[in-house]
Amino acid sequence: MGPCSGNPHLRWASRLLGLLSLLFSVCRSGTNSDGGPAPGVQDSGAPDPLQGIRGGSVLFPLPKKQDAELEEVTWGFGPGSEYRVLLRVRPGKAPIWVSLQDGYQQRVHVPNMTSLKIENLTPEDSGLYRARGSFTGGVDFTQVFHLTVYEPVPIPQILVHSPSITQGWCNVTIECRISWGTEDLKVTWEGKGLPRQLEERVTLGPAPNSWNLAVHLPQSQSYTNITCVVSNEVDQKTATFDLGKVCHLGEAHGSLGEAIVVSLRGILGSVVVMVLVLRGGLYLWKVHRKKKKMETARGAGSQEDYRVRDCDI
């Protein structure tokens, strides 16, 4: 038996020292000399967020060390147990593909040792990407990225409902509509003279296909365009409508009514003048005709007198 076997306190102290020694050796095996993760150990830091749009491209940048060069980088995709190595890159050599060539090989490019580029993005490309590499001098690293690929924002359309002018106020409901809903949309109404700016965010589930804004403004106000802005993290589309086309409609109708009244007055005046002229002409024609008949009758009477005289002789 050892020298400590007879003392229970010494046996307990010996076991504690052994446990601490084991923990210390495990901690040393999990880190390298500069405090970073050891080869094959995932970085505990939060993933770097990256955004892309369907059909677009994204670039994954890697850290650089001025006093060291990259000897090898292994790129992989997927979380946890679903992690798959895509390819390995070494200086001066073509990338060596390991898996997932069918989905990535035609779309992935390696501009240099410190970056990876994916083109023609699809929503299925969203997820975790890991780059595990080693610098000269035995310094290893693991860089994690979280890529989110967004759908392009549909082009919105503005529709106008129930326009009315009531006691000098312009009342109208404006609808901003998109052809299909996507996630994580932000909708903002912009326009001079609005009582407030309406902003709505949709972050969970499919977004609605339309957003309404009720407008109640003085008709006498000078109006500019109102714009519906639909956007996400990487794309933005707008639609614009001229409020004056609705809010000045009552004034246009009033002006049109006044113009119609003035025109009717002019037409009625012309008709009255024409009637008077016709009546005057008809009167003169009747007077002229009567006078001519009288002259004709006088001429016939004179000839009759001459005949009677001739018969007497």
**pLDDT attached to residue 128:** 94
Backbone angles phi, psi at 104, to 5 degrees: -125, -25
**pLDDT attached to residue 263:** 52
**pLDDT attached to residue 32:** 40
**pLDDT attached to residue 249:** 56
Q: What is the mean pLDDT of the chain?
A: 74
Model confidence, pTM: 0.59
**What H or E segment, with its residue span, contains residue 51?**
strand 48-53
Nearest Cα to 234, choosing from 191, 182, 189?
A: 182
For the ranges 18-32, 75-89, 117-131, 276-290, the one whose mean pLDDT is highest: 117-131
- pLDDT digit string (tens) for 40-86? 334 446 899 999 999 999 999 988 877 778 899 999 998 877 889 99
- pLDDT digit string (tens) for 108-140? 999 998 899 999 999 999 999 999 998 888 888
- For strands 108-112 and 115-118, give the pairing: antiparallel
Backbone angles phi, psi at 114, to 5 degrees: -105, 20
**pLDDT attached to residue 245:** 81
Question: 3-class DSSP state for residue 168?
Answer: coil
- pLDDT digit string (tens) for 145-156? 999 999 999 899
The DSSP-derived string for 105-157 is TTTEEEEETTEEEE-S--GGG-EEEEEEEEETTS-EEEEEEEEEEEPPPPPPE
300 or 171, greater pLDDT: 171
The CA distances from residue 126 to 17, 164, 171, 222, in Å, are 48, 48, 45, 47
**CA 59 – CA 146 distance, rounded (Å):** 12
Q: What are the residue ranges of helices labelled H in the chain?
A: 8-30, 101-104, 244-247, 249-312
Confidence of residue 267 (pLDDT cuts 50, 70, 90): low
Question: 3-class DSSP state for residue 239?
Answer: strand
Confidence of residue 106 (pLDDT cuts 50, 70, 90): very high
223 or 170, greater pLDDT: 170
